[in-house]
Structure formats: C-alpha cells, structure tokens
C-alpha cells in the first residue's frame, strides 16, 4: 500500500510485531512503521470484529489502536517506534491487565 522513498536516510530501528522482527526507521510512528512494513497489521474491532487499519494518522479516529510493550489500546499513530519495541496487533477489545 505504501513504500519508502529512496530519499529516506534515517537509521533503522528494529521492532517486533507479534514476535516477528520488522525494520522501522527512527522517527516513524508505530502506525507508519506497520503500514510501511507490508505485514498484515489489521486489528479487529471490539464491537463486531470487523478488520480495520489506521484511517486518520493524526490521533482522532482510534482505528490505529494497538498493544505496545504490553499495554493495550494505544494510539499507534501518536507513539514513536523505539529499538526492541514489542507490538501486538489487537484483535477485539483490550484484554484486562493489558
């Protein structure tokens, strides 16, 4: 859906998406890194289980909700990636304790 411009010379950052290593770039938000990676990053909604990807990328739509380092319902579009960050694609509603 998206690809990186060859102009982008930012250093790589390794994150893990559902356990698999994914190359992101320094300064990416979690959502941008997921969309650039080509992995299936579709979450499913709490209400019907419908599949969704980020819609607005600016913090208002909440379709980018994702579990980051064990904490659920984070807005992936507002969180910058960090080396070793663990991302889980959230299926359904946030689990208690996450």
Partner 1 sequence: MTVAPKREAYDIVVIGAGPAGLAAAATSAEAGLSTLLLDENIGPGGQVFRAIGSTPLTERNQLGADYWAGADLVQALRASNAEVIHRATVWSLDRNLEIAVSIGGASAFVTAQRVIVATGALERPFPIPGWTLPGVMTAGAAQTMLKSSALVPDGRTLIAGQGPLLWLLAAQILRLGGRIDCILDTTERGNYFAALPHAFAFLTSPYFTKGLSMMREVKAKVQVVSGVTELSASGDGQLASVSYVAGGKRETIPSDLLLLHQGVVPNVNLAMSAGVEHRWDELQLCWSPVLDANGDSSVAGIAIAGDGAGIGGASAAVARGRIAARAAVEALAPAAAAKLAPMSALRADLAKAERGRIFLDTLFRPSPQFRIPSGDTIVCRCEEVTARDVLDSVAIGATGPNQLKAYRRTGMGPCQGRLCGLTVTELMAQARGKTPQEIGYYRLRAPVKPITLAELAAVPKSEADVKAVVRG
Provide the binding-site residues for partner 1, judged by CB under 8 A: 1-5, 7-10, 25, 27-29, 32-33, 35-36, 42, 45, 47-48, 50-63, 65, 73, 77-78, 80
Q: Which is nearer to partner 1, 2 or 21 (CB)?
A: 2
Q: Identify the residue whose tokens are 């980051």.
A: 68
Using CA atoms, how far apart are residues 78 and 85, in angstroms rounded to an integer?
14
Q: 12-47 burial string, b = 16+ CB within 10 Å, else e?
A: ebebebeeeebebbeebbbbbbbbbbeeebebeeee
Which C-beta is closer to partner 1: that of 79 or that of 88? 79
Q: Which is nearer to partner 1, 22 or 54 (CB)?
A: 54
What DSSP state is assigned to residue 50? -
Instruction: Report the nearest approach of partner 1 to the CB of residue 55 (Å).
Output: 6
Distance of closest approach, residue 19 Cβ to partner 1, in angstroms: 21
């Amino acid at each position: 859906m998206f690809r990186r411009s060859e102009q982008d010379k930012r250093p790589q950052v390794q994150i893990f998406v559902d356990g698999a290593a994914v190359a992101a770039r320094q300064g990416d938000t979690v959502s941008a890194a997921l969309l650039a990676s080509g992995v299936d990053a579709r979450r499913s909604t709490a209400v019907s289980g419908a599949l969704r990807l980020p819609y607005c990328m600016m913090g208002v739509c909440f379709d980018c909700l994702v579990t980051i380092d064990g904490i659920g319902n984070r807005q992936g579009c507002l969180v910058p990636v960090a080396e070793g960050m663990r991302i889980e694609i959230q299926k359904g509603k946030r689990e208690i304790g996450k």
